[in-house]
A and B are shown apart, each in its own frame.
Chain A
Amino acid sequence: MTRTTLLAATLTAATALTPVFAQSVLRLDEVAVGELDPAKASDYADSILMFNVYDTLVLPKQGEPGHEGHLAESWEVDGATYTFTLRDGIAFQSGNPLTAQDVVYSLERMQAVGQGLSHLFGGVAAEAVDEKTVRFTLEEPYAPFVASLVRLPIVDKALVEQNATEQDPWGEAFLSGNAAGTGAYRVTAHNPQAETRMARNEDYFGEIKDAAPDEAVLRYSLEAATVRTLLAQGEHDISSQWLPPEVMRALANDGAQLFTESGTGAFYIKLNTAKPPLDHVNCRQALAHAFDYGTALQMVAITEDVSSGSAPTGAIPVGMFGANPAEEALARDMDKAREYLADCPTPPEDWDLEISWIAEVPLEERFALLMQANFAELGISSKIETLPWALFTERVASPENTPHISQIFVNAVTGDPDTLLYGMYHSSTPGTWQSPEYLDDAEVDAALEAGRRGPGEQEREEAYSALNDRLMELAPTIYGYDRQSVFAASDRVSAPALSDPSQAFGVDGMGFSFRLMEMTD
């Protein structure tokens, strides 16, 4: 036997004896597309990608209000100036060290690209004081600034600049298909319509659970029947939140566990306050009291214990600043509805309400039918109108074209009520998909500005509480239910941030931090 043959035989034997470790793979799905560029991220799928591939200076505390340092070790606030000190020894997935320049670049890039959630950072300037210190200066005080930093992922400046061109100075083409973060997962393949594959970053600076998935596959736009079959075959682990309640129920009956993420948004039925007869508060109050809140909740219930919604108490979801206590749930009151209707200047027989629903959200058709039946009990006639999202956003640009009633799900993208309420109710932001009410009220504006200004939590709580009361008086909206996202999951995955309220982050998508999940086989 020659030396080469002997070596080959030894190598073959060694290979055969090397233990093969099974890779744990987490498979989940969301609605396409998966936007990988963190400056453009806004949808749920984008958030899942962003929170796993990139990191932010701070993270929301799990199960309690407030924030804690993540890439930042500490920070100081001096009026409208925020100074952050970065942790030592953090490196990007490329191997480049994280510096204050990367933070400045990430902010400037987000502002320049001008998409996704860049509106959160208007009027903010950043400078690198030294390698590890970055200072943000705000044009005017903005109390939820630290909260908004959970939407400022830090990108690897050197890597992006290396891949930027004269026509594409911010490397948008590069970051649409590649990652440049410090995150716990690296992108190994990305097809924005089909799937994104990620693998664990073994050099991650933070905690990754031992049993966290080695690989994660985020699939896009699977049909309900496909998800159900995949879960039954053990080829899928977590569904999206967009499955119809009946399918969720069937999956739960098949043995799937149900994960939830709550506290950041609600289902709002918006009344156009600029269009008669809803330009009069009593007419709006009549509708708000005639709406059947109990049936609405039954419509979104999945099992006896889990529902996509919880009882609303007012304009602000339970758990946020200024929310009413959970015990003060809104309920239907037909006597009051009739009283208000009697004081409405337009008699019910003269009403012809347009109740719209978004064509892409079939659940809203059921709510439209519910409202039609509820309001018919007051002698009010109405017609139901289906609007594709694109047409809806165009229609709401003028009060005359905006339907009397629109149905919208709105979330606080940072978990702070400012990002939920300011865009809906401040008089400076009418005519968007969030604000088809066209509300113009000085008291509401003042409360929103006070809530934004702060400075302390006490002041903010008072401001939002006053806002909540005022909105209940004005009734620009029927508060359908506080929204809770529900996901069906196989029993091989455990996700405390989606199953244990004391571990929840309170920011949409952050519960899907794969590093905190555990696979059981």
Chain B
Amino acid sequence: MSSVFRILLRRLGISVIVLIGVSMLIFAIARVIPGDPARIALGPNATAEQVAAIRTEMHLDEPIVAQYGHFVTDVLRGDLGTSLYTNRPVTQDIVEFLPATLELVIFAGLLMVALGLPLGILAARHRARWPDHVVRVLTLLTVSAPSFVWAVILMLVFAFYLPLFPVAGRIDDSYEIARVTGFLTVDTLIAGRFDAFLDVLHHLVLPAVALALSGIGQAARLTRANMVETYDKPYIEMAQAYGFAPGRIARRYAFKPSLIPSLTIIGLDFAAMLGNAFLVEAVFAWPGLSRYGVAVILRKDLNAIMGTVLVIALTFLIINIIVDLLIAFLNPRIRHSTRAAT
């Protein structure tokens, strides 16, 4: 059995335990949020009998342990219940809203990696010179304001004053694209509509940049700090003494060991964007799962809260597993220590 496979198995086992823990925790927390979900769902004019009927239907009149039992039984059957917010099955809502958020987060994540790491390398290579100063100031700016502030600023500058980008939605109303995966970048290509694909990318730019800016700054600053530390190591001095080209030293000897801590943080940032995307989704009228999650929490829609949190937790765990595997792949010490432990 390869060491990477052993790491995968161990992480999967831990993930199952974490998911069960999250489900119990959220189940309990959702029930102590103020407000009666049945009353909120039925509206202020519903009679006491109507409210009682819904409470019975949702098992809210039973002890919390029994309620959790019903929940687990239903989940194992693939039934997350009906959302009191949208009056549709929660699974249908998740299937509809999740791809929009994932598409946004994936693009923001790509931007984070594609811009954050090179900026960090650039700053580290030119330490204490003007490229370093520029990168540090810019990245400080991006990490110091939350995504929704950037969302509003980007919208005002690039959609209101300079109407270069669309303001809302995922695609122009004039396109009719059959839903296959829910990822419009993929569905437009499946439909053979390259013009629509470009329009989707056009719609993605502002929300993805707004969501990624903070992560770009963080990735750049972290990469720079790690690389600066690595540059002080004796083997770098030796490489310089051998007369290796600065670019080669940066890429092969300084960047690779510096990447491991950056990768961990990028992975965490990437996963956190799933939850943090809700304000960006609200500003750009992006029909995603984060926005849905906040709406259902405010309405105390118990089934939808559970469904959304579990999906986000699951995605978080999957991303963490991928990051762990990547780190194990990059860092031989982890691989070897796993083998030695077994």
Q: Please report the number of residue pairs spanning A and B whose Cβ atoms sit closer than 8 angstroms.
A: 116
Tell me whether B261 is interfacial, beta carbon within 8 Å: no
Nearest opposing residue in chain A for B292, CB measure: A193
A225 to B173, CA, bound (A): 20
Please encode chain B, from 19 to 47, with 1 for each CB lying within 8 Å of some chain A CB and 0 for all others.
Answer: 00000000000000111100110111111
Residue of B nearest to A234 (CB): B163
Residues of A within 8 A of B35 (CB): 388-391, 393-394
- Interface residues in B67-113 by Cβ distance below 8 A to A read 85-88, 93, 96-97
> Which of B47, B159, B285 has the most chain A CB atoms closer than 10 A to its own CB?
B285
Determine the distance from Cα of A230 to Cα of B86 in the docked complex, in whole angstroms: 26
Which listed residue, A172, A177, A191, A233, touches B159 by the CB 8 Å rule?
A: A233
User: In the complex, what residues of B have CB within 8 A of residue A228's CB?
Assistant: 160
Q: Which residues of A contact B53 (CB under 8 A)?
A: 114
A176-B295 in contact given A115-B50, A390-B40 (Cβ < 8 Å): no
Residues of A within 8 A of B88 (CB): 173, 176-177, 192
Given A229-B156, A394-B35, the answer on whether A114 and B42 have CB atoms closer than 8 Å is yes
In the assembled complex, the Cα of A176 lies from the Cα of B93 at a distance in Å of: 13
In the complex, A389 Cα to B45 Cα: how many Å? 15
Interface string of A30-74 (1 = CB under 8 A from B): 001101010010100000000000000000000000000000000
A432 touching B36, Cβ below 8 Å? no
Interface status of B155 (Cβ within 8 A of chain A): yes
A115 near B34 (CB under 8 angstroms)? no
Task: Tell me if B159 and A229 are in contact (CB < 8 A).
Answer: yes
Distance in angstroms from A348 CB to nearest chain B CB is 32
Q: Is A299 an interface residue (CB 8 A)?
A: no
Complex formed: what's the CA distance from A26 to B152 in Å?
25
Q: Which of B46, B87, B155, B291 contacts A226 (CB 8 A)?
A: B155
| A118 contact set on B, CB distance < 8 A | 45
Please report the C-alpha to C-alpha distance between residue A394 and residue B51 in the assembled complex, in whole angstroms. Answer: 13
Q: Are A119 and B282 in contact (CB under 8 A)?
A: no
Q: What's the nearest-Cβ distance from chain A to residue B167, in Å?
A: 5
B87 and A172 contacting across the interface, CB-CB below 8 Å: yes
**Which residues of B are found within 8 Å of A192, using beta-carbon distances?**
85-88
CA A191 – CA B95 in complex, angstroms? 12
- Chain A residues near B282: list those with CB within 8 A: 221, 223
A194 to B291, CA, bound (A): 10
Q: What is the bound-complex CA distance between A226 and B281, given in angstroms?
A: 11
**Interface residues of B, dominant DSSP:** loop
Binary CB contact string for chain A from 223 to 252 against chain B (1 if under 8 A, 0 otherwise): 101101110110100000000000000000
B287 at the interface (CB under 8 A from A): yes
Chain B, Cβ-Cβ closest to A41 = B43
Q: Are B87 and A37 in contact (CB under 8 A)?
A: yes
Q: Is residue B300 within 8 Å, beta carbon to beta carbon, of the partner chain?
A: yes
Residues of B within 8 A of A191 (CB): 96, 287
Q: Would A235 and B168 count as touching, CB distance under 8 A?
A: yes
Judged by a CB distance under 8 angstroms, whether B268 is at the interface is no
Task: Output the residue of A32, A176, A229 with the most chain B CB within 10 A.
Answer: A229
Question: Could you tell me how many residues of chain A have their Cβ less than 8 Å away from some Cβ of chain B?
Answer: 46
Q: Is B225 an interface residue (CB 8 A)?
A: no
| Contact of B283 with A by CB under 8 A | yes
B287 CB contacts on chain A under 8 angstroms = 191, 193-195
B231 within 8 A of A: no
- Whether a CB of chain A sits under 8 angstroms from the CB of B284 is yes
Asked if A217 is at the interface (CB within 8 A of a chain B CB), the reply is yes
Residues from chain A with Cβ under 8 Å of B86 in the complex: 33, 176, 192-193
| A222 lies within 8 A of B168 (CB) | yes
A223 and B283 within 8 A (CB): yes
Please determine whether B43 and A42 come into contact, CB atoms closer than 8 angstroms.
yes
Q: How far is the CB of B197 from chain A (nearest CB, A)?
A: 21
A423 sits at the interface (CB 8 A): yes
B44 touching A433 by the CB < 8 A rule?
yes
Q: Does A454 have its Cβ within 8 Å of any Cβ on chain B?
A: no
Chain A residue nearest to B39 in the complex (CB): A393
Chain A contacts for B42, CB-based, 8 A: 114-115
Q: Contact at B50–A25, with CB atoms within 8 Å?
A: no
How many angstroms from the CA of A304 to the CA of B254 in the assembled complex? 66
Q: Please give, as numbers and ranges, the residues of chain B lying within 8 Å of A37 by CB-CB distance.
A: 87
Inter-chain contact A114/B295, CB cutoff 8 Å: no
Q: Which residue of B lies closest to A217 (CB)?
A: B173
| Chain A residues closer than 8 Å to B299, beta-carbon distance | 390
Does chain B have a CB within 8 A of A186?
no
Instruction: Indicate if A434 sits at the interface (CB-CB under 8 A).
Output: yes
Minimal Cβ-Cβ distance residue in A for B42: A115
Q: Which residues of B are found within 8 Å of A194, using beta-carbon distances?
A: 285, 287
B45 to chain A, nearest CB (A): 5
Would you call A229 and B167 a contact (CB within 8 A)? yes
Per the bound structure, the CA–CA distance linking A176 and B298 in Å amounts to 21
Q: Is the CB of B160 within 8 A of A432?
A: no
Q: Which of B42, B163, B167, B298 has the most CB of A within 10 A?
A: B167
With A229-B155, A235-B167 already in contact, the answer to whether A119 and B295 are too (CB < 8 A) is: no
Residues from chain A with Cβ under 8 Å of B285 in the complex: 194, 219, 221-223, 226
- Does A116 count as interface, using CB distance less than 8 angstroms? yes
- Whether B36 pairs with A394 at a CB distance below 8 angstroms is yes
Complex CA gap A42/B46 in Å reads 11
- Chain A: minimal CB distance from B75 (Å): 19
Question: Quick one: given A194-B287, A226-B155, A235-B168, are A119 and B46 in contact (CB under 8 Å)?
Answer: yes
A119 touches B97 (CB 8 A): no
**Within B111-144, which residues are at the interface with A (CB < 8 Å)?**
none
A439 at interface by CB-CB < 8 Å: no
Contacting residues, chain A, for B45 (C-beta < 8 A): 42, 116-119, 423
CA distance A228 to B161 in the complex (A): 12
Q: Are B43 and A115 in contact (CB under 8 A)?
A: yes
- In whole angstroms, how far apart are the Cα atoms of A388 and B166 in the complex? 34
Are A114 and B50 touching (Cβ within 8 A)?
A: yes
CB distance from A255 to the nearest CB of B (A): 14
Query: For the complex, what is the distance from the CA of A204 to the CA of B47, rounded to whole Å?
Result: 36
- Closest chain-B Cβ to A27's Cβ sits at a distance in Å of 8
Are A193 and B291 touching (Cβ within 8 A)? yes
Inter-chain contacts of A434 with B (CB < 8 A): 44
- Using A193-B291, A433-B44, A434-B44 as known contacts, say yes or no to A390 and B33 having CB atoms under 8 A apart: yes
Check if A226 sits within 8 Å of B33, measured CB to CB: no
Chain B residues, Cβ within 8 Å of A40: 87
Q: Mark B276-316, 1 if CB is under 8 A from A, else 0.
A: 00000011110100011001001110000000000000000
**Distance A116 CA – B88 CA, assembled complex (angstroms):** 16
Chain B residues with CB under 8 A of A35? 87
Asked if residues B46 and A233 are in contact (CB atoms below 8 Å), the reply is no
User: A115–B284 Cα gap in the complex (Å)?
Assistant: 32
Which 7 A-B pairs give the minimum distances between C-beta atoms? A390-B35, A194-B287, A391-B34, A114-B50, A176-B87, A192-B86, A229-B160
List 12 other contacts, CB 8 Å, given A25-B173, A33-B85, A191-B96.
A42-B43, A119-B46, A119-B47, A176-B87, A219-B168, A225-B152, A225-B156, A229-B159, A230-B168, A388-B35, A389-B40, A433-B44
13 contacts between A and B (CB under 8 A): A33-B295, A172-B87, A193-B291, A221-B285, A230-B167, A233-B159, A233-B163, A233-B167, A389-B40, A393-B39, A394-B39, A433-B44, A434-B44
Chain B interface (Cβ < 8 Å from any Cβ of A) = 33-36, 39-40, 42-47, 50, 53, 85-88, 93, 96-97, 152, 155-156, 159-160, 163, 166-168, 173, 282-285, 287, 291-292, 295, 298-300
